[in-house]
Structure 1
Amino acid sequence: MKQHDQNFLLKRITKKKNTGAQAATMTPKVKKGWRRRPAEADYLEMMVEYNSEAMALLLKTAAGWVYCHNNWEHEKLTGYSQKAIRNQPLKTVLGEAYFKVYEKNADDCLKSGKTILFKAKACWNGQIRERMCRMTPVSGATQDYIVVTELNTTVIKDWMAKNHLATTRFDAMFQTHTATMLLIEPASGRIVEANPAALAFYGYSLEEITAMTIDQINTLSKAAVDALRHQALAGQQRYFLFPHRLKNGEIRMVDVHSSPLELDGQPYLFSVITDATEREQNAAALYQEKERYKTTMEAIHDGVITTDAKGSISTLNPAAEQACGWQCIEVLGKPFEAIFRICHEYTREPLTGLVAGVLADGQSIEITAPTVLFKKDGEMIPIETSIAPIRSQNGSIGGVVMVFRDITLSREKKRRIEYLSYHDELTGLYNRRFYEQYFSQKEIKLIHPMAFVMGDVNGLKMTNDVFGHTIGDLLLKDIARTLKRTAGARHQVIRWGGDEFMIVMPGSDLKDAEVLVRQIKEQLKDICINGTIEASVSFGMALKQSRDDEPGPVLKKAEEMMYQIKLLESKSMRGTTINALLAALDEKRSETKAHTLRLSDHVMKLAERLSLNVEAKNRLILLTMLHDIGKVGIPDHILGKPGRLTEEEWQIMQTHSEIGYRIAANVPELHVVTEEILHHHEKWDGSGYPSGLSGEKIPLNSRILAVVDAYDVMTHDQVYQPARSHEDAIRELRAQSGSQFDPRLVDRFIDQVSHW
């Protein structure tokens, strides 16, 4: 044997025998052998000596195979000691009937140079024993040996029986178990084996599924499947949740419990697969249900407080947090009544035991009494609330839920609605509905005497048309305040319609009504809107003399009287209103009365040249005075602007002719000039405003005024331009003749002014 082989054997033998912490114990013979340089046979003997199996050395001699050494295990098996067996032939040790099998296999082993395993019988200690024998050749420098290992076939058979039983049991379990099982090759992911349950689950035959890899079933990416498979092989992860595709294309969620194992020296992954689709669907449905619950709890405007079975707070939704001032984290787990105090709104008597009562009897309660809840800061809020038990699936009570609503705003809205039901929104006075409800009371109908006063605001329509409804509303509010203040708390002041008011005076006669009307008229003199609009109201009155008089007919008499007085006052009022408007216009516009006088002089002279009749001349004078009356409705900053108007400002300025038209339409005496006021800014070619009339469709007086007014404006200073010369004005009139102005009127006017 070579030296390094001998050293290897020494190390192997020493390691084999030294299984504990103590030093290896050697026989004196071995120790003695160590004192000199060991021979090849010594090493072989040492190898055999310290092996746990029954081993012996055979040596080939001229007489045949003989034993040269055996170990203690072999001695126990055969009954031959090391001394007794040395140089004994096979025939002697094994017996006449059995040695030839050993001899033949020894020859074959030596010849082939390979280990041989065979079954043989031998007669040892008077017993015939069947053994498995392993022969291994060992070639030395000078001679060859055979290492014989006797294997106990009884032990092997027992092991094989047990192994067969385990294999049979595993195979039975694999084939008959209802769980889906796969055996997978880790390197490639190839499915090596599948049990019948797997075939039924996936829908493949055994031939089909064993021709597939696991990534063809797993819908994750191949890279992800490979990575997770190697984690399972390394024992880093054993449980997985995967989406697997069945043969019919259906995707099922599965739990995969995968463990590495070794078969015939090869690593595999043994996977037990459970269909988790229904569980995952239920989990998803539960999650969605929780999300819906959470969303509902967050979105609902009512406060929601829940407790557990002991009455300790478990949740507050955002509305409850906002209403009571507590955050859920602050009160979680605390007793309900230690945090939330609920009392009767009027008596302040605490309402205790609400949660405990519901937990005890399992009955829902709705608190109908006026109730308040104390907030975190001690402030009280009125609430409407109900408390109900929370039941589990088996019917037991697991807690309560209290739903409450802060009714502060709803109360205010209710009061507002009730107020508006009986009050006029603009003036704050009672309305017709109040009148009907007031006289639906039997005791009110029996009151007598009772005076009814009806009032109608004069000129409200004109005010709205000229100055807008905002100014008209201010006028109505001022009148309403005056009526209410003067009438006092004893009498009921009602806004009857748009511009009509009524005063009901229980216990008063007509004299009392006359006194009240005089006082009101005196107070109305103090009203003046925008320094221009004065308040004027026509009043009528009637008396309910007996308890049998119905209020309707009495009211009608008061209304008829009011209209009679209004007819008498209206003409005077219209005149007053027009004069007030003209006075206001004079204050607002830059033109002077001299401008009006000059216009009047020019138009009358031109009218003479045109041979107009008296009626046309009178309308022309009236138009000259009132054509710009609509400018009372134009803001001062636009009327008095020294520079050029913006497009928006110019659009506003152009509305003055329509405003003037509406003013004149409200005064019967001015109806004759309404159309002429409306169209005095139209142009001959149709490019004027507001209607775009052209040519002779424009009223004659409007065309006359347009020429004369343009000349006078050009020859006198304006806020936006200085005066131009007479010659420049004439040239401009000629330039605009046929486009802006009537050519015939331009020629007549130039002829007229050239003789001045």
Structure 2
Amino acid sequence: MYLFKKSDSTKLALIAIGAIIIIISVLLEFFSFPYVTISGGILTIYSAIWFGVRGGFSISLFSCFIILIYYFVNPDQYILSNVITSFFFYLFLGVIVGLFHDRLKESQKQLIAAQISQRNVEKSLEEERNRFKQYLDIAGVMLLAVDSDGKVTYINQKGCDLLGCNFEDIIGENWFERFFPDVDDKNFINSDKFSELESYVLTYNQQKRLFHFRNTKLTDSEGNIEGILSSAEDITDRRQTENDLKGSEEKFRNLAENIPGVIYLCHYDKSYSMIYLNQDIESLTGYDKSDFLEGKLNLTDLILEKDLDTINKQVTRAIENQKPFYLIYRIKDVLGQIKWLEEKGIGVYKEGKLNHLEGHISDITARKEAEERIRFLSFYDELTGLYNRRFFNEELYRLDTVRQLPLSIILGDVNGLKLINDTFGHFEGDKLLLKAAEAFRESCRKEDVIARFGGDEFIVLLPKTTIEEANNIANRIEDNMKQKQLSHIPPSMSLGVATKDLAHISVHQLIKEAEDKMYEKKLLKSKQVRSDILQSLLKTLREKSYETERHSKRLEVLSVKIGEALNLPLSELQKLSILAKLHDIGKVTIARTILKKKTSLTTEEWKTIKKHPETGYKIALSAPEIAPIAECILYHHERWDGQGYPHGIEGDEIPLLSRIIAIVDSYDVMVSGRCYKKSMPKESAFKEIERCSGRQFDPNLARVFIDIMKEGTKLDTIS
């Protein structure tokens, strides 16, 4: 069934339907609704979006084109003239409607665009206002606007939080009257402190908080002031922290200035340039602290070159690993003296980056010297500088091999050391040991191991040395020892020599053999040695005092006379003879200036004089030949009444021989005289002895002595 017929009514219907379709299409497009058109039996679906792109004119052309195609599809049913007429009609109508529609559409678009643009601007402004308010609210400082009357017109959320109030509570409040009582608002804007100041603000809870303000003036176009815009931050806690830090820094500085050693802060550069140093740097180096801080001098300039490279490597390694560093090095101070330093330091980091170095430096020179001394003493004798026994034993076992045979040992003992120590003290004894060490060094070879083996014993280990060679070396040692000069006694030494030619002989047997030979020689010449020592001591005594040989001889004759009168046995008379010569042997240790002083002795000098009996006692005990008279020497200055010295014993407690020597010694001094006292006649001396009888002297012995002298004992024969 066809929609179009050849009658006029059909034409009119077709035109009407086409017009209605175009009008509906335009209206649907205008109101932007989807629609459906049916023309000539063909279903066509359009959308408002598509028509919005094409426009009304395109719609008309497209509709007419559809009808034309329809007619061409059915040419036998329609009259071509009707088709052409319908096409041009629709084309004309479509153009008219399309033009109208395009203009209407353009106006509509412009109106909608204007409305949309206005809404977008308003929305953007609102968003910007909200965003700006958010920016202000999240600011870390208080932002404040005050008008010309001093009333608050704006404050951000941070300001509300700092003041302890809500936004609505503060808006309209007078800022100066309510919160800023310390500032005069009338003169504030024109003051020098306007742009930036610190002042206290009274918060809502009546707390005074210190704020730091930055202010600017708000003016109109003519320059009139409309208000103030301020940014402020609460610095109360920060200021308190600063004050605390300032106090802590002062405490640290006081501590750093008083702590032993050098406290420093320095840059991590080639010269470790200083940032801070305490005062101890001056006592350590001798240079002014300012020289280091001003860069005129660096600590690296003082460090020994051989130590500096090691220091740089250790510090670099520690910094790379972010660990502390520990250094020991040497410097040369302003006087050129070498000092050992110990440094403990660490890198200080900020935000992961090295900022500076800080640490402590100690002077460990004394410690290092002590360590060196300990190291030295572990192998050397402190006094002589020779090897000690420990080192010798190690060398003995090291050299006890077949390749070192024949292996010889020389063992020596210094004669008279105990006597010197007891008489003159260990200082003089040390001198004797040093002389012995010199004799060994001068006599032995470089390959020989010389050691101090004990108190007064020395030992020499001689590898690849025959007994004949060892004896020659021992003879050189004895000769060199005799040539040494010592003020009190002639130095001498007893030596023993032993050699092993076979590997199976132990080194202990070797030492024992040398020791036996040494003591054998010592025993053979011990009497002569002691005699030489005593003679040397007597000679020394006579040189420094009034104890002449004639005086000793006179005392010997007089004391023996008394002993004979008392019928003493020969052994006691022999003791008296020796005692007469050695009773004042202890004076050998007293200074010449005291012994020959012409004026009265001081209290201290008398104390020194009174020590000589004890010294003489020690000397006598050290020599077996005179040991039996040791007590007589000790007590020969005791008095009958107990007022003597050194022990204050009295009467018969005093040995008989000591009482005899006391009388004859006093008598000889009285009749012979001294530089501090004139001599007196014999009769006067007898009277003095009688006067002191029973007090200073034994009364019986005093009477015997006077009787002997009055009976005609002549001293001229022995003078």
Shift of 1:302: 5.7
Residue number in structure 1 paired with 2:129:
none
Q: C-alpha distance in 1, partners of 2:348/2:295?
A: 18
Residue number in structure 1 paired with 2:381:
424
Shift of 1:479: 1.3
Shift of 1:709: 1.7
* Structure 2 residue 411 is the aligned partner of structure 1 residue 458: no
The AA in structure 2 aligned to 1:543 is T
Residue number in structure 2 paired with 1:637:
593
Asked if structure 2 preserves the Cα contact closer than 8 Å seen for 1:344 and 1:371, the reply is no
The AA in structure 1 aligned to 2:247 is Y
* Structure 2 residue 248 is the aligned partner of structure 1 residue 288: yes
Shift of 1:679: 0.3
Relative distance call for 1:453 and 1:295 in structure 2 (3 A) is: same
**1:220-369 to 2 correspondence within 5 Å?**
280=240, 283-284=243-244, 287-289=247-249, 291-292=251-252, 295-296=255-256, 299=259, 301=261, 304=264, 306-307=266-267, 313-318=273-278, 329=290, 345=306, 361=320, 363-364=322-323
Instruction: Pick one of 399, 413, 423 that aligns with 2:356.
Output: 399
Residue number in structure 1 paired with 2:479:
522
Relative distance call for 1:365 and 1:449 in structure 2 (3 A) is: farther
The AA in structure 2 aligned to 1:479 is A
* Structure 2 residue 579 is the aligned partner of structure 1 residue 623: yes
Shift of 1:671: 2.2
CA offsets 1:343-381 (integer angstroms, 9 cap, x no match): 9729x979879888877x56448598x978899999998
* Structure 2 residue 473 is the aligned partner of structure 1 residue 473: no
Relative distance call for 1:631 and 1:366 in structure 2 (3 A) is: same
Q: C-alpha distance in 1, partners of 2:302/2:630?
A: 73
Asked if structure 2 preserves the Cα contact closer than 8 Å seen for 1:345 and 1:382, the reply is no
Asked if structure 2 preserves the Cα contact closer than 8 Å seen for 1:343 and 1:351, the reply is no
Asked if structure 1 preserves the Cα contact closer than 8 Å seen for 2:399 and 2:463, the reply is no
Q: For residue 715 of structure 1, give the secondary structure of its aligned residue in structure 2.
A: helix
CA offsets 1:409-436 (integer angstroms, 9 cap, x no match): 7665544432232221211211112213
**Farther off after superposition, 692-701 or 562-571:** 562-571
Q: For residue 625 of structure 2, give the secondary structure of its aligned residue in structure 1.
A: helix
The AA in structure 2 aligned to 1:291 is K
Relative distance call for 1:240 and 1:633 in structure 2 (3 A) is: farther
Residue number in structure 1 paired with 2:707:
751
Asked if structure 2 preserves the Cα contact closer than 8 Å seen for 1:585 and 1:631, the reply is yes
Shift of 1:503: 0.9
Relative distance call for 1:345 and 1:753 in structure 2 (3 A) is: same
Asked if structure 1 preserves the Cα contact closer than 8 Å seen for 2:277 and 2:293, the reply is no
Relative distance call for 1:577 and 1:373 in structure 2 (3 A) is: closer
* Structure 2 residue 527 is the aligned partner of structure 1 residue 571: yes
Asked if structure 2 preserves the Cα contact closer than 8 Å seen for 1:682 and 1:694, the reply is yes
Residue number in structure 1 paired with 2:393:
436
Relative distance call for 1:337 and 1:588 in structure 2 (3 A) is: closer
Shift of 1:677: 0.9
The AA in structure 2 aligned to 1:566 is K
Q: C-alpha distance in 1, partners of 2:493/2:284?
A: 51
Q: For residue 428 of structure 1, give the secondary structure of its aligned residue in structure 2.
A: coil
Q: C-alpha distance in 2, partners of 1:292/1:372?
A: 28
Shift of 1:293: 5.7
Shift of 1:491: 1.2
Instruction: Pick one of 661, 668, 678 that aligns with 1:712.
Output: 668
Asked if structure 2 preserves the Cα contact closer than 8 Å seen for 1:455 and 1:502, the reply is yes
CA offsets 1:263-296 (integer angstroms, 9 cap, x no match): xxxxxxxxx9x99589647733553355336633
- Unaligned runs of at least 5 residues, structure 2: 1-145, 166-176, 180-187, 201-206, 214-231, 713-719
Shift of 1:572: 2.1
Q: For residue 404 of structure 2, give the secondary structure of its aligned residue in structure 1.
A: coil
CA offsets 1:121-142 (integer angstroms, 9 cap, x no match): xxxxxxxxxxxxxxxxxxxxxx
Instruction: Pick one of 390, 393, 407 that aligns with 2:348.
Output: 390
Q: For residue 573 of structure 1, give the secondary structure of its aligned residue in structure 2.
A: helix
Asked if structure 1 preserves the Cα contact closer than 8 Å seen for 2:262 and 2:362, the reply is yes
Asked if structure 1 preserves the Cα contact closer than 8 Å seen for 2:541 and 2:587, the reply is yes
Q: TM-score, normalised by structure 2?
A: 0.61
Q: For residue 596 of structure 1, give the secondary structure of its aligned residue in structure 2.
A: helix
* Structure 2 residue 552 is the aligned partner of structure 1 residue 596: yes
**Farther off after superposition, 371-380 or 640-649:** 371-380
Residue number in structure 2 paired with 1:674:
630
Q: C-alpha distance in 1, partners of 2:332/2:688?
A: 83
CA offsets 1:690-748 (integer angstroms, 9 cap, x no match): 01001111111111221222122111221211111222212211221111111222222
Asked if structure 2 preserves the Cα contact closer than 8 Å seen for 1:304 and 1:402, the reply is yes
**1:658-697 to 2 correspondence within 5 Å?**
658-697=614-653
The AA in structure 2 aligned to 1:478 is K
Asked if structure 2 preserves the Cα contact closer than 8 Å seen for 1:455 and 1:537, the reply is yes
Relative distance call for 1:502 and 1:509 in structure 2 (3 A) is: same
**1:77-156 to 2 correspondence within 5 Å?**
none
Paired residue total = 526
* Structure 2 residue 500 is the aligned partner of structure 1 residue 544: yes
Q: C-alpha distance in 1, partners of 2:529/2:208?
A: 91
Asked if structure 2 preserves the Cα contact closer than 8 Å seen for 1:344 and 1:350, the reply is no
Asked if structure 2 preserves the Cα contact closer than 8 Å seen for 1:630 and 1:660, the reply is yes
Asked if structure 2 preserves the Cα contact closer than 8 Å seen for 1:309 and 1:398, the reply is no
Relative distance call for 1:291 and 1:735 in structure 2 (3 A) is: same
* Structure having the larger proportion of residues in helix: 2
Residue number in structure 1 paired with 2:77:
none
* Structure having the larger proportion of residues in strand: 1
Over the matched positions of the two proteins, sequence identity in percent amounts to: 31
- Unaligned runs of at least 5 residues, structure 1: 1-161, 182-192, 196-231, 242-251, 259-271
The AA in structure 1 aligned to 2:435 is D
The AA in structure 1 aligned to 2:248 is Q
Shift of 1:536: 1.5
Residue number in structure 1 paired with 2:677:
721
Asked if structure 2 preserves the Cα contact closer than 8 Å seen for 1:364 and 1:386, the reply is no
Asked if structure 2 preserves the Cα contact closer than 8 Å seen for 1:371 and 1:383, the reply is yes
Q: C-alpha distance in 2, partners of 1:472/1:322?
A: 40
**Farther off after superposition, 570-579 or 586-595:** 586-595
Q: C-alpha distance in 2, partners of 1:376/1:599?
A: 67
Shift of 1:627: 1.0
Shift of 1:485: 0.8
Q: C-alpha distance in 2, partners of 1:609/1:372?
A: 81
Shift of 1:608: 3.1
Relative distance call for 1:682 and 1:428 in structure 2 (3 A) is: same
Asked if structure 2 preserves the Cα contact closer than 8 Å seen for 1:387 and 1:402, the reply is yes
Q: For residue 577 of structure 2, give the secondary structure of its aligned residue in structure 1.
A: helix
Q: C-alpha distance in 1, partners of 2:675/2:579?
A: 23
Relative distance call for 1:335 and 1:306 in structure 2 (3 A) is: farther
Q: For residue 722 of structure 1, give the secondary structure of its aligned residue in structure 2.
A: coil
Shift of 1:327: 5.9
The AA in structure 2 aligned to 1:746 is A
CA offsets 1:553-595 (integer angstroms, 9 cap, x no match): 3212211221222122212212222222223323332243332
Shift of 1:255: 5.5
CA offsets 1:368-415 (integer angstroms, 9 cap, x no match): 8x97889999999887777743112x4333234477778877665544
Q: TM-score, normalised by structure 1?
A: 0.58
Relative distance call for 1:713 and 1:302 in structure 2 (3 A) is: same
Residue number in structure 2 paired with 1:583:
539
Relative distance call for 1:398 and 1:495 in structure 2 (3 A) is: same
Which has the greater radius of gyration?
2
Q: C-alpha distance in 2, partners of 1:600/1:372?
A: 69
Q: C-alpha distance in 2, partners of 1:690/1:300?
A: 52
Relative distance call for 1:619 and 1:178 in structure 2 (3 A) is: same
Relative distance call for 1:194 and 1:458 in structure 2 (3 A) is: farther
